């Protein structure tokens, strides 16, 4: 029997259940106001008043007058929180609102925003631990607070890592509740991961705890005990625990993890799709729905199995508008499938209007904002297909509607396409209007700038006048781009690994903490990689004397027996390139980053977290402007 191409699916999907999702959350802002809770230590099932005081620098977020808090409420036996929007009213300079805690809540974290952008207290959020009587914390409160600090939350509420604090909180949980096996096992796992316990010590502690458990009490306990057995190398015991938990706790997170293992045993794409659809029937409220759906989208598009993707979407009643957009990008490019693409675009627009598709860990306002962008993107794809069919009027109507919905968030490609259609239709004034709005919003491209200049020249403007007008518009655009870049932080956990310099000296990524780091993965055989290097060299020249910025160009996937010699030969023939060169000799680090194509760049903040990802080759002017804005935003953290 051949090895299934989906053998790795369960690990990826299971990690998504605990929130390790590579997705962009709604805009966050770095500058923090302050939040207070009344009472500070709320009791189970009581009401909590949330008060927010904004800083003057948060004016852009508060100026609309509509502010709300998103409270992420955790129970002891759920991996993912439930997001609840709390409307805030302004009085005496403060914004306040009331939240009724469900009786099962043990811990909560809060951010404040307007739907488009959020104050996350510089990614520390604001938190409260629930008590029994205002003094003693309920079981699971400290444990959930610890998990929040160890990167195990969904993207929408992912806290900055603080492993030392996480370990201390788990210690507190264990002191308060000595029988909380989940807290004790999580302590061992985290301590082992950060090197506070070596392999032998961790295995001994795992053995001691697992041998003391007479009967598993909850799905979460089953999961960590299975992980503890796996940590001892006892795979059969781990499988037995999960199988038993699936039978004892049907429809629980443990049962879902066990069933995901069965999904991962699919031997063909068709079988994989059927197993996923069956999984959605069994677990309709799964918090991993989007990640599992993304796995199907990737598998079908990578294999060119677009009809199978269409079948999957037709059978998946809860697919999100985001998924439809991802799918029609591929399906619409196929001439014979364009009728299906139009139908799926309509289905995607309907999905955006369906509140039942909102995952429980995303707040209502945040979800609505995501749907607004998805509607705009779906209409952009519709316009692009119509343009390819030479239906200019229909394309213009779709693109105009896309731009109307998204406003300043309109895709650059949508603006550029609309400008081109206007110019071809002899509507230069409309084209100029779109070009100006793109420049002012910081969304211009070389094509848009060229169209802007050509239109003005055709109207009799001379070069100096055009340059002055463009400079004024681009000055406004840079401010808009800087604000948008700060709102687009991915805030993903850092990934460690070891590169080597060309002289063989090893360097760990974690050694670069304290600096803003740009990692650029490339190979000598990659044409777009080589084409990007002159632009990258200019960026390096701009920051080479700044000790707080490091540009690391990392060679991967090289197709030669002597990779170092291949790279050295390339550099000797390209003496104008002086940026630092590194090797990922066995391609183990690039694999951790999940890279599927090169060139791919990652921008790391000073704390090592991944804040931006950039794929492919971009025009030099655009690349330098965007890269500089990103670097400056990260330096300001």
Highest mean pLDDT among 213-222, 257-266, 365-374: 365-374
Angle, CA 159 vertex, CA 152 and CA 318 arms, to 5°: 60
Spatial contact of 601 and 587, defined as CB atoms under 8 Å apart: no
Spatial contact of 328 and 378, defined as CB atoms under 8 Å apart: yes
Same fold flag, 21-246 and 498-635: no
Does 123 have pLDDT greater than 90? no
For the chain, give the percent of residues with pLDDT over 70: 94
Residue 298 Cα to chain centre, angstroms: 16
Q: Residue 566: phi, psi to the nearest 5?
A: -60, -45
| pLDDT value, residue 58 | 67
pLDDT digits (tens, 9 = 90+) for 101-111: 999 999 999 99
| pLDDT value, residue 142 | 96
| pLDDT value, residue 551 | 97
Q: What is the mean pLDDT of residues 611-624?
A: 89
**How much of the chain is helix, strand and coil, in % rounded to 5?**
55, 15, 30
Angle, CA 370 vertex, CA 404 and CA 488 arms, to 5°: 95
Does 288 have pLDDT greater than 80? yes
| pLDDT value, residue 31 | 54
Does 392 have pLDDT greater than 70? yes
pLDDT digits (tens, 9 = 90+) for 202-220: 999 999 988 888 888 899 9
Calpha distance 583→560 (Å, rounded): 13
What's the token pair of residue 45?
Answer: 């099932």
Does 41 have pLDDT greater than 70? yes
Calpha distance 462→458 (Å, rounded): 10
| pLDDT value, residue 62 | 79
Calpha distance 485→611 (Å, rounded): 10
Does 11 have pLDDT greater than 50? no
**At 523, is the pLDDT very low, low, confident or very high (cuts 50, 70, 90)?**
very high
pLDDT digits (tens, 9 = 90+) for 64-92: 778 999 999 999 888 789 999 999 999 88
Comparing 114-118, 510-514, 531-535, the range with the smallest average pLDDT is 114-118
What's the token pair of residue 370?
Answer: 């995501």
| pLDDT value, residue 9 | 33
CATH of domain 21-246: 2.60.40.10
Does 28 have pLDDT greater than 60? no
Nearest to 28 by CA among 191, 203, 165, 158: 158
- Name the more confident of 327 and 3: 327
The contacts of residue 559 (CB under 8 Å, 6+ apart) are 523, 525
DSSP state of 616: S
Q: How many alpha carbons fall within 13 Å on the CB side of residue 225?
A: 26
**At 18, is the pLDDT very low, low, confident or very high (cuts 50, 70, 90)?**
very low
Calpha distance 153→147 (Å, rounded): 8
What's the token pair of residue 421?
Answer: 């259609």
- Name the more confident of 276 and 444: 276
DSSP state of 513: T
Calpha distance 409→414 (Å, rounded): 11
Superfamily (CATH) of domain 498-635: Glutaredoxin (3.40.30.10)
**What pTM does this model have?**
0.81
Query: Domains of the chain: which residue ranges?
Result: 21-246, 498-635
pLDDT digits (tens, 9 = 90+) for 580-617: 999 999 999 999 998 988 999 999 999 998 999 999 98
CA distances from 411 to 83, 228, 351, 381, 431 (A): 28, 47, 21, 11, 16
- Name the more confident of 596 and 26: 596
pLDDT digits (tens, 9 = 90+) for 497-522: 999 999 999 999 999 999 999 999 99
| pLDDT value, residue 48 | 96
| pLDDT value, residue 485 | 76
């Amino acid at each position: 029997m051949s090895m299934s191409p989906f053998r790795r699916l369960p690990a990826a999907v299971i990690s998504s259940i605990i929130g390790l999702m590579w997705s962009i959350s709604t805009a966050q802002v770095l500058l923090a106001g302050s939040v207070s809770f009344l009472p500070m230590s709320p009791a189970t099932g009581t009401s909590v008043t949330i008060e927010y005081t904004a800083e003057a620098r948060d004016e852009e977020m508060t100026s609309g007058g509509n502010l709300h808090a998103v409270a992420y409420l955790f129970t002891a036996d759920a991996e993912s929180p439930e997001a609840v929007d709390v409307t805030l009213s302004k009085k005496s300079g403060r914004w306040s609102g009331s939240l009724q805690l469900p009786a099962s809540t043990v811990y909560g974290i809060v951010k404040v925003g307007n739907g488009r952008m959020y104050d996350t207290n510089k990614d520390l959020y604001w938190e409260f631990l629930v008590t029994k009587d205002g003094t003693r914390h309920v079981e699971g409160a400290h444990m959930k607070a610890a998990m929040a600090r160890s990167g195990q939350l969904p993207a929408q509420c992912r806290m900055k890592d603080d492993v030392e604090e996480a370990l201390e909180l788990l210690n507190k949980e264990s002191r308060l509740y000595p029988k909380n096996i989940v807290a004790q096992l999580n302590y061992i796992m985290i301590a082992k991961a950060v090197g506070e316990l070596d392999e032998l010590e961790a295995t001994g502690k795992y053995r001691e705890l697992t041998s003391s458990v007479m009967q598993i009490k909850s799905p979460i306990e089953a999961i960590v005990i299975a992980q503890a057995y796996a940590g001892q190398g006892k795979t059969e015991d781990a499988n037995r625990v999960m199988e038993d938990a699936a039978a004892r706790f049907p429809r629980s997170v443990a049962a879902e993890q066990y069933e995901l293992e069965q999904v991962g045993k699919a031997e063909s794409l068709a079988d994989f799709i059927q197993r996923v659809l069956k999984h959605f029937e069994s677990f309709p409220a799964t918090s991993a729905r989007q990640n599992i759906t993304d796995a199907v989208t990737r598998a079908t598009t990578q294999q060119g199995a677009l009809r199978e993707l269409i079948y999957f979407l037709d059978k998946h009643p809860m697919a999100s508008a985001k998924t439809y957009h991802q799918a029609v990008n591929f399906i619409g490019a196929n001439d014979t499938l364009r009728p299906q693409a139009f139908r799926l675009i309509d289905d995607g627009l309907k999905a955006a209007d369906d509140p039942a598709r909102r995952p429980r860990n995303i707040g209502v306002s945040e979800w609505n904002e995501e749907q607004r962008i998805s509607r705009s993107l779906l209409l952009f794809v519709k316009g692009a297909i119509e343009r390819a069919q030479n239906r200019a009027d229909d394309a213009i109507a779709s693109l105009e509607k896309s731009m109307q919905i998204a406003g300043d968030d309109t895709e650059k490609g949508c603006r550029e396409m609309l400008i081109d259609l206007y110019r071809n239709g002899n509507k230069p004034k409309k084209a100029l209007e779109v070009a100006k709005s793109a420049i002012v919003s910081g969304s211009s491209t070389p094509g848009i700038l060229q169209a802007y200049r050509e239109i003005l020249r055709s109207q009799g403007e001379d070069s100096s006048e055009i340059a002055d007008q463009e400079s004024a518009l681009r000055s406004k655009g840079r401010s808009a781009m800087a604000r948008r870049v700060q709102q687009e932080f991915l805030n993903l956990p850092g990934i460690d690994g070891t590169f080597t310099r060309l002289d063989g000296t090893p360097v760990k990524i974690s050694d670069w903490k304290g600096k803003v780091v740009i990692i650029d993965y490339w190979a000598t055989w990659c044409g777009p990689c080589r084409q990007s290097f002159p632009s990258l060299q200019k960026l390096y020249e701009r920051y080479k004397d700044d000790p707080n910025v490091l540009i690391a160009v990392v060679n991967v996937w090289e197709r030669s027996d002597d990779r170092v010699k291949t790279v050295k030969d390339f550099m000797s023939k390209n003496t104008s390139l002086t940026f630092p060169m590194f090797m990922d000799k066995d391609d183990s680090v690039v694999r951790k980053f999940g890279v599927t194509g090169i060139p791919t760049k990652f921008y790391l903040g000073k704390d090592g977290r991944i804040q931006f990802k950039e794929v492919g080759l971009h025009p030099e002017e655009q690349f330098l402007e965007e890269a500089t804005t990103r670097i400056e935003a990260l330096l300001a953290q």
